[in-house]
Amino acid sequence: MYRTHTNGELRLSHKGEMVTLAGWVQRVRELGGMTFVDLRDRYGLTQLVFSDDMDAALNEQVNKLGREFVIQAKGEVLERSSKNDQMPTGEIEIKVNELTLLNAAELPPFLIENETDGGEEIRMKYRYLDLRRPVMAQALMLRAKLIKAVREYLDNLDFVEVETPNLIKSTPEGARDFLVPSRLQKGSFYALPQSPQILKQLLMVGGMDRYYQIVKCYRDEDFRGDRQPEFTQIDCEMAFVEQEDVLSTFEGMVKHAFKKTIEVDLPDFVRMTYADAMKYYGNDKPDLRFDCKIVDLNEACSGTEFNVFNSALTDGKLIAGIVGKGMATYSRKQIDQLTDFVKEPHRGAGGMIYLKFNEDGSHKSSIDKFLTEEKVAELKAASGAETGDMLLIIVDKESVARKCLGDLRLELAKREDWIDPKAWSVFWVIDFPLFIEDEDTGEFTFAHHPFCSPHQEDLQYWDTEPLKVRAQTYDLIMNGNELCSGSIRIHDKEMQEKVFNSLGLSAEERDAKFGFMLNAFKYGAPPHGGLALGVDRWVMLMVGGTSIRDVIAFPKSTGGRDLMMDAPAQVPQASLEELGVKVVEV
């Protein structure tokens, strides 16, 4: 071993000991004839000191040291005369009497410090240097700690970690598969799993009873925002359970992991229906770190002279609003910005109505002339607004109005700084619809995936109002992010076939894609359910980051490139010939 201690380890209690340290030179300072070197490793920083009476050879060595040089230093632990209470080793320093240069370093292309001058692209290219920054190393360590806590919890509950294969059959689950040409069976392809969904269900058919796996999954999607082509999930499945069993088991897991990883005690998780989430927050993954619910105002808006209200009431549109706490002070310009926000094409509201309840008791609205004092009072009461607040109202098709208000709610939180960065909002959204209708084509598709079990009591709507059929599905929402998604699965062959039929799969397609699964269901499939939980996003939220790239050791850039390795890359023609494929010239 090149060291007796790490650079985060020595304390005043080690005073007088002879120690050997190794690590990277963080910086070299000269001060009053002395030279100070901060030595860094994953564990911390320790100050080395070279006194002015050191011998000439050592002096020469010290003079050559540069940033990021790798050195080994032997010496005595001394008590510092001027202590630094900002660092754990700040009470001591090492008086070095022997120095070994283990490796020199060129000047790194950016600062190896938490606050770095390196842009994202250069940090990705030199990721091995970026990872030396304490903030990066700590994120990876926290990630490991979180996963350890998760395993601990699941192991204790008799979950068995089972590895499922990564070279599987292409069975589209919604996204595009990465394909791997087979050399031994030319013209055929493996797919990389989008998730081990079917395999874990087959493990339940196989009696594994409780399964988990921390597993890489793959989706060949166009890069939208913060996506990675490979990502990690905590994948779990249980047999002989009902929905509440799954929820309580994994609520326990998340609480355990929070406690063990960042010492946060989460309160019990609310179970909110999808219907309520949409109604009150216009969003199936609401952020509950702040209040501000959507209020329905159809009733309160009846009986005015305002045509927009009246025709909305006739046409079955929705009039709804949210209350901007303390926002009666908003200027015309600020309100215009909010109006522009809801009118952005992907939100599609026609406009926004405001109603300020001024501190002086007066009010001001874009539709003042249509509002009697009684109506204003009624709107104030119905919306729960108080003096000093502003009510923002959207009138539109229900789906548009709720989405706009949901987005507006988040926008206000950002503008008004409503979110405590240390707060956590973690809860379940349950009872998603089984099917959703594609607005363009009118075709049905599954809301989660085609293996979710419908609620028994909703089967009556299957033929007449299929969109009303709820599935036994649940998402775990964390600070407004969908962290986890799961369901009680179908375990009955006929029901599974019924769902495939409703999705428009022919018997042929069905058997080609899912035949092995339907076949398995003939031989005694138990009731089962489970979920999958995104590790990257969870860790990102825990470290308070803004991109999952910051919690992945070697992430891909937008466009799916590894800038460090320069992948993907061209391969020799001979390799492709062996695989029996060729690149199509464009």
Could you tell me which stretch among 127-135, 331-339, 408-416, 441-449 binds a second copy (CB under 8 A)? 127-135
Whether omega before 568 lies within 30 degrees of 0, making that bond cis, reads: yes
- Look up residue 6 and give its amino acid: T
Contact 237, 530 (CB under 8 A): yes
Backbone angles phi, psi at 209, to 5 degrees: 70, -60
Q: Which is nearer to a second copy, 199 or 292 (CB)?
A: 199
Which of positions 27-86 make contact with a second copy (CB under 8 A)?
40-43, 68-70
Tell me: does residue 343 bind a second copy (CB under 8 A).
no
Distances (CA, A) of 176 to 170, 179, 199: 9, 9, 18
Among 5, 123, 127, 403, binds a second copy (CB under 8 A): 127
Residue count at the site for a second copy (CB under 8 A)? 122
Tell me if 564 contacts a second copy by CB under 8 A: yes
- Within positions 202 to 231, which residues make up the interface with a second copy, using CB under 8 A? 202-203, 205-209, 216, 218, 220, 222-223, 229-230
Specify whether the CB–CB gap between 347 and 341 falls below 8 A: yes
Is 147 near a second copy (CB under 8 A)?
Answer: yes
105 binds a second copy (CB under 8 A): yes
Q: Is the peptide bond before 172 cis (omega within 30 degrees of 0)?
A: no
Task: Pick the closer one to a second copy by CB: 44 or 348.
Answer: 44
Select the span of 144-152, 265-273, 357-365, 482-490 touching a second copy (CB under 8 A). 144-152
Of the candidates 34, 359, 567, 573, which one interacts with a second copy according to CB under 8 A?
Answer: 567
Whole-number Cα distances in Å, 46 to 27, 62, 546: 11, 16, 31
DSSP calls for 31-64: ETTEEEEEEEETTEEEEEEE-TTS-HHHHHHHHH
**Interaction of residue 104 with a second copy, rule CB under 8 A:** yes
Among 45, 65, 77, 129, binds a second copy (CB under 8 A): 129
241 in contact with a second copy (CB under 8 A): yes
Q: Which is nearer to a second copy, 257 or 391 (CB)?
A: 257
Give 445's strand partners: 436
Q: Residue 448's closest CA among 476, 473, 483?
A: 473
CA distance 520 to 323: 53
Cβ atoms 429, 474 nearer than 8 A:
yes
By CB under 8 A, tell whether 299 contacts a second copy: no
Site for a second copy contains 381 (CB under 8 A): no
- Which of 356, 513 has the CB closer to a second copy? 513
For the CB of residue 38, give the shortest distance to a second copy in the complex, in Å. Answer: 14
Closest CA to 486 of 476, 495, 474, 477: 474
Query: Measured from the CB of residue 158, what is the shortest distance to a second copy in angstroms?
Result: 8
Angstrom distance (rounded) from CA 310 to CA 298: 9
Establish if 378 lies at the interface with a second copy (CB under 8 A). no
**Of 47, 232, 261, 473, which one interacts with a second copy (CB under 8 A)?**
232
Between residues 240 and 329, which has the closer beta carbon with respect to a second copy? 240
260 binds a second copy (CB under 8 A): no
Selected from 49, 78, 87, 140, the binder of a second copy by CB under 8 A is: 140
Structure token pair of residue 364: 């001001």
Q: How many residues does the chain have?
A: 586
Residue 136: both structure tokens together: 């990066």
Count the Cβ atoms, other than its own, within 10 Å of residue 415: 15
| Integer CA distances (angstroms), 516 to 4, 156, 327, 524, in order | 57, 32, 59, 14
Binding to a second copy (CB under 8 A): which residues in 2-21?
Answer: 2-3, 6
| Residues from 157 through 196 that contact a second copy (CB under 8 A) | 160-171, 176-192
> Taking every pair of C-alpha atoms in the chain, what is the biggest distance, in angstroms?
95
Judged by CB under 8 A, the chain residues 544 through 563 that form the site for a second copy are 552-556, 559-562
The residue assigned the tokens 């310009």 is 333
Identify residues 508-537 at the interface with a second copy (CB under 8 A): 516, 520-527
Compute the least distance from the CB of residue 73 to a second copy, in Å: 12
| Cβ proximity to a second copy, 521 vs 538, nearer residue | 521
